[in-house]
Amino acid sequence: MSEKPEEMSKFFDDRATGYDEHMHGMFQDFDSFYKKISKPIIVTEKPVKVLDLGCGTGNQLKGIFQKLPNARVTAIDLSEEMLGKLKEKYPSYLKQIEIVQGSYLTLPFSACFYDYVVSVYSLHHFTKDVKRTLYEKIKKSLKPEGMYIEGDCVVSADMEAQLLANYQQLVTKELSNDLYHVDIPCSLQTQINLLQDAGFSKVDVIYHDEDEEAAIIVAQV
Ligand SMILES: C[S@@+](CC[C@H](N)C(=O)[O-])C[C@H]1O[C@@H](n2cnc3c(N)ncnc32)[C@H](O)[C@@H]1O
């Protein structure tokens, strides 16, 4: 990792066009993965509240709206261009989506407000400390029966250590804040530990594919 990484928002602004096609090409089971994200969600016509962290072009929203047709979604992303693609993809749901351009690391979340918080392929850019703090914030934002669903890359414990060591070298040398595009996914066990440390009462892995290095974890308040 020798070159200075790009700022996160610029990285995704530059790749918003063609992002969905790229993701389809990268993951053999793209459709079934995104379907699994909404699997734990209980079907209802009620206007339940959903917070989507790093929503990007909204790939996870298709399955969410199928199960929650009247959901009120707060969709947060740093990248204006990714949010623009989301708006193009969901014209009939725009009245139900509050789009917020900014960082979920610093934006405040309403307390005890959301039925579901979801995040897909966004948190593998952050260190364990940053994630733990975010998980605590997510837990506080959920209602007592609320659920956090995260889908993301996971790697082996050895790879986690290696990527983190590379990242730490880079940070001390070049980077001044957290919002750079660097991939530092955790192992599945680290993910589970972080969610438990943040105070979630029950943490379940509902999907794990070692070959695709992908997992979906559900955490209950
Ligand atoms: C790989 S994309 C995933 C998008 C979408 N969730 C999906 O699964 O297709 C990661 C997204 O997270 C966003 N992101 C990364 N860090 C963020 C932060 N701190 N706050 C808000 N959005 C962030 C990026 O701008 C990007 O759109």
CATH number at residue 192: 3.40.50.150
CA of residue 12 to ligand 1 center, whole Å: 8
CA dist., res. 76 & res. 119, Å (int): 10
* pLDDT confidence of residue 12: 96
Identify whether 1 is part of a domain: no
* pLDDT confidence of residue 174: 64
CA dist., res. 76 & res. 137, Å (int): 15
* Overall number of domains in the chain: 1
CA of residue 70 to ligand 1 center, whole Å: 24
Contact 52, 73 (CB under 8 A): yes
Q: Give residue-wise pLDDT tens across range 118-140.
A: 999 999 999 999 999 999 999 99
pTM for this prediction: 0.96
Identify whether 131 is part of a domain: yes
Q: Give residue-wise pLDDT tens across range 13-62.
A: 999 999 999 999 888 889 999 999 999 999 999 999 999 999 999 999 99
Task: Specify the residue with its C-alpha closest to ligand 1, atom 9.
Answer: 59
Identify whether 119 is part of a domain: yes
Identify whether 3 is part of a domain: no
Residue type, 98: E
* pLDDT confidence of residue 122: 98
Give me the percent of the chain exceeding a pLDDT of 90.
Answer: 86
Between residues 171 and 8, the one the model is more confident about: 8
Please state the separation of Cα 51 from the chain's center in Å. 10
* pLDDT confidence of residue 22: 94
Count CB neighbours of 25 within 10 A: 10
> Which protein residues touch ligand 1 with a CB less than 6 Å away?
8, 12, 23, 54-57, 59-60, 76-79, 82, 103-105, 120-122, 125
CA of residue 122 to ligand 1 center, whole Å: 4
CA dist., res. 152 & res. 175, Å (int): 24
* pLDDT confidence of residue 26: 86
Could you tell me the residue range of the domain that residue 39 belongs to?
Answer: 8-220
Identify whether 74 is part of a domain: yes
Identify whether 201 is part of a domain: yes
* pLDDT confidence of residue 215: 97
Band (1; pLDDT cuts 50, 70, 90): very low
CA of residue 77 to ligand 1 center, whole Å: 6
Identify whether 26 is part of a domain: yes
Identify whether 139 is part of a domain: yes
* pLDDT confidence of residue 178: 65
> Best mutation site among 11, 57, 62, 78 for ligand 1, i.e. most ligand atoms within 8 A of its Cβ?
78
* pLDDT confidence of residue 168: 85
Q: Give residue-wise pLDDT tens across range 91-122.
A: 999 999 999 999 999 999 999 999 999 999 99
